[in-house]
Amino acid sequence: MLEKLRDEVIDQLEFYYNFDRLLIAHQYQALLDIAPDATLITNTAGRILYANHHAEKLFGYDWTELIGNEIEILVPEELRKKHAKYRQRYLADPRPRPMDAVNMEFPSRRKDGTFFRAEISLNPVVTGENKLFIVCAIRDVSNRVSDQRALIKISRETFTRTGEDFFPALAKILAEELKADYVIIGGLAVNSEWVETITVVDHGRIVQNFKYELLNTPCVTAMEDSVCIVPDHLQQKYPDVPLIRKMEMDAYVGVRLYDSQGETCGVINTLYHKPLTPEKARRAEFLLQIFALRATSELERTLLTGALQQSVHSFRRLFDNSPFGMVILDQQGKILKANQAITVISGYSRDELLDRDITNLHHPDVSEAACQLVLQLAVNTCSDPVCQIESRFQRKDGSVIYVREYGYRIDDMHTEPCCIVLHIEEISKQKKAADEIHKLSLAIKHSPNVCLITDKDARIEYVNSKFTEVTGYSAEEVIGKKPNILANEKTPREACARLWATILSGSEWRGEFYNRKKNGELYWARQVIFPVMDDAGEIRHFVSFHEDGTEARKYTEKLSYQATHDQLTGLINRYEFERRLERIINVAQVDGSTHTLCFLDLDQFKIINDTSGHVAGDALLRQLGKLFREKIRQHDTVARLGGDEFGILMEHCPLEKARDIAGMLCAELTAFNFMWEKMAHHIGVSIGIAIINKDTCDTIEVMKQVDTACYAAKDSGRNRVHIYNEDDIILSQRLHETNWVPEINAALVENRFELVAQTIMQLNANGSDNAYEILIRLKDSHGNIILPGVFLPSAERYNLSLRIDRWVIDRVFQWLIEHPEQAANIDSLAINLSGASISDRDLLHHIVEQFEASGLPPSKIGFELTETSAIANMLEAKNFMRKLRDIGFQVALDDFGSGLSSFAYLKHLPVNMLKIDGMFVKDIVHDKSDYAMVNMINELAHALGMQTVAEYVENDLILERLKKIGVDYVQGYAIAEPIEIDKIS
Question: Which of 317, 338, 372 represents a domain boundary (last residue)?
Answer: 317
pLDDT (0 to 100) of residue 417: 53
* Structural domain contains residue 770: yes
Give the DSSP letter of residue 425: E
Q: Are residues 163 and 288 in the same domain?
A: yes
Q: Mean pLDDT across the chain, nearest whole number?
A: 83
Q: Per residue in 961-984, pLDDT tens?
A: 999 999 999 999 999 999 999 998
* Structural domain contains residue 593: yes
- The answer to whether residue 813 scores a pLDDT higher than 90 is yes
Question: Which residues span the domain enclosing 549?
Answer: 448-554
Using pLDDT thresholds of 50, 70 and 90, give the confidence band for residue 808.
Answer: very high
* Structural domain contains residue 437: no
Using pLDDT thresholds of 50, 70 and 90, give the confidence band for residue 16.
Answer: very low
Using pLDDT thresholds of 50, 70 and 90, give the confidence band for residue 282.
Answer: confident
Opening angle at CA 680, ends 679 and 684, nearest 5: 145
Largest distance between two CA atoms of the chain: 177
Q: Name the burial class of residue 678, with classes exposed (0-12), middle (13-18) and buried (19+) by CB atoms within 10 angstroms of its CB.
A: exposed
- Roughly what angle, to the nearest 10 degrees, separates helices 605-612 and 874-887? 60
pLDDT (0 to 100) of residue 837: 86
Q: Per residue in 210-235, pLDDT tens?
A: 988 888 899 888 888 889 999 999 99
* Structural domain contains residue 732: no
Angular region, 475: left φ>0, alpha ψ -120 to 50, beta rest: alpha
CATH at 965: 3.20.20.450
Q: Are residues 155 and 120 in the same domain?
A: no
Q: Are residues 80 and 161 in the same domain?
A: no
Q: Per residue in 631-653, pLDDT tens?
A: 999 999 999 998 899 999 999 99
Q: Are residues 780 and 636 in the same domain?
A: no
Q: Is the sign of the CA dihedral 68, 73, 78, 84 positive or negative?
A: negative
CATH at 170: 3.30.450.40
Q: Are residues 201 and 55 in the same domain?
A: no
Can the peptide bond before residue 36 be classed as cis, meaning omega within 30 degrees of 0? Answer: yes
pLDDT (0 to 100) of residue 515: 87
Q: Per residue in 165-197, pLDDT tens?
A: 788 888 888 888 889 999 999 888 766 788 888
Task: Tell me how far apart the alpha carbons of residues 475 and 590 are, in angstroms, rounded to a whole number.
Answer: 56
Work out whether strand 890-896 and strand 861-866 pair parallel, antiparallel, or are unpaired: parallel
Q: Are residues 348 and 313 in the same domain?
A: no
Question: Which of 432, 458, 477 represents a domain boundary (last residue)?
Answer: 432
Closest to 229 measured CA to CA, from 268, 193, 200: 268
Per the document, the length of the chain is 985
* Structural domain contains residue 821: yes
Q: Are residues 535 and 599 in the same domain?
A: no
Q: Are residues 413 and 457 in the same domain?
A: no
pLDDT (0 to 100) of residue 122: 87
Question: Which of 554, 589, 611 represents a domain boundary (last residue)?
Answer: 554
**Within a 13 Å sphere around the CA of 305, how many CA atoms are in the beta-carbon half?**
7
CATH at 85: 3.30.450.20
Task: Tell me how far apart the alpha carbons of residues 833 and 756 are, in angstroms, rounded to a whole number.
Answer: 15
Number of domains composing the chain: 6
Q: Which residues pair with 543 in a beta bridge?
A: 453, 530
Tell me the mean pLDDT in the region 379-407.
Answer: 77
* Structural domain contains residue 559: no
Q: Are residues 169 and 289 in the same domain?
A: yes
Q: Are residues 888 and 795 in the same domain?
A: yes
pLDDT (0 to 100) of residue 690: 94
* Structural domain contains residue 935: yes
pLDDT (0 to 100) of residue 798: 79
* Structural domain contains residue 696: yes
- The answer to whether residue 22 scores a pLDDT higher than 70 is no
Using pLDDT thresholds of 50, 70 and 90, give the confidence band for residue 17.
Answer: very low
Q: Are residues 61 and 91 in the same domain?
A: yes
Q: Are residues 160 and 106 in the same domain?
A: no
Q: Which residues contact 686 (CB under 8 A, 6 or more apart)?
A: 600, 601, 603, 710, 713, 714, 718, 719, 720, 722
- The answer to whether residue 687 scores a pLDDT higher than 90 is yes
CATH at 626: 3.30.70.270
Tell me the mean pLDDT in the region 767-793.
Answer: 86
